[in-house]
Structure 1
Amino acid sequence: MNSIYIRELKHYSKAEILEIIDEKAFEKLTSYAIIDKDEDSYQFKFVGVIIVDDMVINCYPKYIPNTDNIKDDFKQIISVIKKYKSLNEEIDYSNENLEDISFNLLSMMVFFLEDYFENGIYTNIQNILESNGNGEIDWNRTVNYTNPIIKNNKPYYTELQTRYKINDLFDYFHLLHEYIITDCSRRLESAGLIDLFDLTPVELSHHEQDDFGEITEILEKLTKELNVEFNSHKQKLLKSMHAYLAGKNSFSNDNYLTVFGTNTYHVVWEDVCRRVFGDKLNKSLREILNDSNSYTKLIDVIKKPEWHLKEGTFKVDTFRPDLITFWNGYFVILDAKYYKLKVTEKLEKQPGLSDVTKQYLYELAYREFIEENNFKGVKNAFLMPSYENQVENKGYVEIGILHDLGLENIQVIMLPAGEMNQLYLENRKMSISRLFLIS
């Protein structure tokens, strides 16, 4: 397959896109909101891998300025998306229609290989019962089904019932699982994606799909096995095998679309920042304050709006910061913003007024808590990704009427995305001291 790299949100004319893919594929990508129209141009609103027709399209994040080191950069991005999905998304293909299954085939292939490396092949264990075998003695069957010799009022059993377990390597579902894993490996390898997903090629089976029967017969057997299997992981595997085989033929058509990635990469960036800086929002006050016995979570300190109506009083959801943490006696409010600031004669592509206002209000919402717990002060900042190697404080944004209330202005901090991603992948933290100087 041919492979190209495209930057997220870069503007293209329709003619430029149709040089890459045909009209039918263009319409399909548009219907899934992967390609979005912006006035007279089009943008790929997606980060990840798209396979359409015989083309592999690698969409990389907008903050990466060029393709000088794109293979390494993009491989790291795919690893970050994989980790985000594993931490935040439960795999369930049981309720999807065939078109959605086809759309998610690439994700399913990656799942099958990663699950195999972690958990091995689907197994059915057989219990073998014998008389006087080498397995474990089944005393319940021995006592109930054999006659002992009684001597001095003690029973002596000359025939012992034994049991042992074997893994049936010729089990239908065991062999089918091996076939699917091998098929996934071959498909990923033919698309040049094995290394990108940091996987190893696997050859477990010499079978073809037809060896297991007609597709309707295979799917029926999987459904029957699912009805008698109660192990949660094996249930997930059976559902995934069913979905993969049900949608596989769509992948083989002349025109198909399958993806791995996200059209909401800002959510991934938020998760990266939360974990790298140690978000405390969902921790109880008992966990984070030495002198508190309260099980109230930090997020619940923010009071909810109350609607006082004739029918009664109603509390509704309130605003929620991206992450809160403590550092060196300071209460730190951080908001991950997936923006790419553009500064020429004017400022463009910056967070909007509502974003800035909310950031001030987060401090105001916690003001009583901050005073009661004797914090030295507040540090408040937007966190944006950059392609540089260093943390850079770009300045701050101020709304005078809110700053006059004694609220901290919002620092604008550019973070080295490559380093942040690596810390995220390695479950390590970045020190808050790199963001702020105590003034």
Structure 2
Amino acid sequence: MLNHINDYKGIALSDLCRNATNIDGDEFVGIKFDWNTHESKFDISIVFPLGYRIGIDNEAIRSDILSLISLLTEYGDNKSTLAHQKSNSFVQYYSFPIQAYMNIMYDFLDRGRYYTEQDETYTRGNSGRVSWNRTIRHERPIVQKKGIAYLTMQVRKRNDTDKNLITEISKYCVYDSFLKLGWLYGYNLPPKPAIKFNKNIFLSVLREKLAITHKDRDKRLIKDMLDIVSFVDTTEKSEQDFYFGTYKFEYIWEKLIDNIFGIKEKSLYFPKSTWTLFYSNNKENRALLPDTILKEQDIVVLDAKYYRYGETSAASHLPSSSSINKQITYGEYIFNNYKDEGDIYNAFIMPFRRSNEFFNTELNYLAIGVAKSDWKKNDKHYELVLGVLADVKHLMSVRVKPNNKEVHELLSIVRETIQQL
């Protein structure tokens, strides 16, 4: 537990981190931030997916956490229910703007101060300090015998209240950012702002300011403040629970595999079916959808399985007959229609830590066995479904997607293993 005043200094990030087990509902992957009202303390935990190799020292773990945040931000969607907030008797879903919080924190550290309004604002009027350059550009003069005259001019708008309010909102957002994410860098909290949170007023002031701001950096900052104010509950409390993550990491695992190894035109390889009806119009059924089609000289149909085998080496944690037979159907369809595009292979991709005691390898991809069916002769490559473990930390570090290097390495492992059987 972390005290919300000064316990960030010297914290060991390793004490906050662990892997999901996928046992007894332990499926959440992401950041949990529970506020203990009675003790005024946080309970922060960072949960990594199955198979992720968590670093040892603070610097390595911080990099791991940022990688996890990046992955969840990039791949989270409605299927994976990216974030949720606990409430007394129900679950409320929302999108936690973690990037906005981090941007606010970084901006404050870089500026060394809170945001203050520097630009002068102008309005149409007859009294006040006149800006003749703006008046000439924006106002229409009238012609008189003695020359031209302006009925209205551009005068400087003085509103110190609004200026001070922008700064106070900045203080609120900075405090809230350090409150929620300061532990990541061991930063102490800045002073708690005196201003009382008012969502409607804050939003109105920020939107008005955004409309007249021209500096890119300031515009980005105001947008981040808008995201934070929009997110904060109307309970007027920064000290509220929030979860940033997912209970369905299998969807993110599928998308990660597809983005690294897959081709965009995979729908060409989807097996389709049709009902030809005697008493009504024919009906086209939805196509079978393989997760990923890898294509480089040969074709590999990949099925991303977020299963526990890579942690346990237990055969009971491998794909079942239904998954195996479905893969063979995919391969057979492609073989019958696209075999001139190369040899056809099948593989399951499952997560693991390459340092796992059961495998203990330096390889990022490890073939662990092959699945066969009893309704095929198993004399064609696509009729054998290869089980491949992929190091999760390595895949999460791959920034180029699709990645030709990874495609080539995985294809080589699949091809060489199957051809040797």
Common fold by TM > 0.5: yes
Q: Map 1:73-84 to 2 at 5 A.
A: 75-84=62-71
Cα deviation for residue 261 of structure 1 reads: 1.9
Q: Is the 8 A contact 2:293 2:302 kept in 1?
A: yes
Cα deviation for residue 352 of structure 1 reads: 1.8
1:20 aligned residue? none
Deviation per CA, 1:20-60, whole angstroms, max 9, x where unpaired?
xxxxxxxxxxxxxxxxxx4xxxx522122223334223323
Counterpart CA distance in 1 for 2:384 and 2:158 is 64
Counterpart CA distance in 1 for 2:155 and 2:409 is 60
User: CA 1:207–1:184 in 2, change beyond 3 Å: closer, same or farther?
Assistant: closer
* Seq. identity, %: 12
Counterpart CA distance in 2 for 1:97 and 1:10 is 20
2:216 aligned residue? none
Q: Is the 8 A contact 1:339 1:385 kept in 2?
A: yes
1:326 paired to 2:299: no
Secondary structure (helix, strand or coil) at the match of 1:63 reads coil
User: CA 1:262–1:432 in 2, change beyond 3 Å: closer, same or farther?
Assistant: same
Q: Structure 1: which amino acid aligns with 2:388? A: I
Q: Is the 8 A contact 1:331 1:370 kept in 2?
A: no
2:43 aligned residue? 55
Selected match of 1:381 from 347, 351, 354:
347
2:170 aligned residue? 178
Counterpart CA distance in 1 for 2:137 and 2:33 is 59
Q: Map 1:40-439 to 2 at 5 A.
A: 43-52=25-34, 53=36, 54-64=42-52, 69=56, 75-89=62-76, 99=87, 107-108=96-97, 111-114=100-103, 126-128=121-123, 133=131, 135-136=133-134, 138-139=136-137, 141=139, 144-147=140-143, 170-171=162-163, 174-188=166-180, 192-194=183-185, 207-210=193-196, 215=197, 218-222=198-202, 238=226, 240-247=228-235, 249=237, 252=239, 257-277=241-261, 279-281=262-264, 283=265, 298-299=266-267, 301-307=269-275, 312-327=281-296, 329-341=297-309, 347-371=315-339, 374-388=340-354, 389-390=362-363, 391-402=365-376, 404=378, 406=380, 407-424=382-399, 430-435=405-410, 436=412, 437=415, 439=419
Query: What TM-score, normalized by structure 2, do the two folds share?
Result: 0.66
Cα deviation for residue 103 of structure 1 reads: 7.2
Counterpart CA distance in 1 for 2:334 and 2:157 is 60
Q: Is the 8 A contact 2:105 2:177 kept in 1?
A: no
Structure 2 residues without counterparts, runs of 5 or longer:
3-14, 37-41, 79-83, 212-218, 355-361
Q: Structure 2: which amino acid aligns with 1:7? A: N
Cα deviation for residue 386 of structure 1 reads: 2.1
For structure 1, which segment, 161-170 or 414-423, has the greater mean C-alpha deviation from structure 2 after superposition? 161-170
Counterpart CA distance in 1 for 2:116 and 2:86 is 24
Counterpart CA distance in 1 for 2:76 and 2:141 is 51
User: CA 1:164–1:366 in 2, change beyond 3 Å: closer, same or farther?
Assistant: farther
Counterpart CA distance in 2 for 1:90 and 1:132 is 51
User: CA 1:397–1:247 in 2, change beyond 3 Å: closer, same or farther?
Assistant: farther
Structure 1 residues without counterparts, runs of 5 or longer:
12-37, 151-155, 284-297
2:21 aligned residue? 9
Counterpart CA distance in 2 for 1:425 and 1:247 is 42
Q: Is the 8 A contact 1:106 1:259 kept in 2?
A: no
Secondary structure (helix, strand or coil) at the match of 2:21 reads coil
Aligned residue pairs, count: 362
Cα deviation for residue 274 of structure 1 reads: 2.3
Q: Is the 8 A contact 1:275 1:429 kept in 2?
A: no
Q: Is the 8 A contact 1:48 1:262 kept in 2?
A: yes
Secondary structure (helix, strand or coil) at the match of 2:288 reads coil
Counterpart CA distance in 2 for 1:404 and 1:98 is 50
Deviation per CA, 1:233-252, whole angstroms, max 9, x where unpaired?
87885464143041553x64
Cα deviation for residue 383 of structure 1 reads: 1.5
Cα deviation for residue 364 of structure 1 reads: 2.7
User: CA 1:174–1:132 in 2, change beyond 3 Å: closer, same or farther?
Assistant: closer
User: CA 1:207–1:365 in 2, change beyond 3 Å: closer, same or farther?
Assistant: same
Q: Is the 8 A contact 1:102 1:248 kept in 2?
A: no
Query: What TM-score, normalized by structure 1, do the two folds share?
Result: 0.64
Deviation per CA, 1:358-390, whole angstroms, max 9, x where unpaired?
22222233335413xx21212321122221131
1:32 aligned residue? none
1:34 aligned residue? none
Cα deviation for residue 418 of structure 1 reads: 2.0
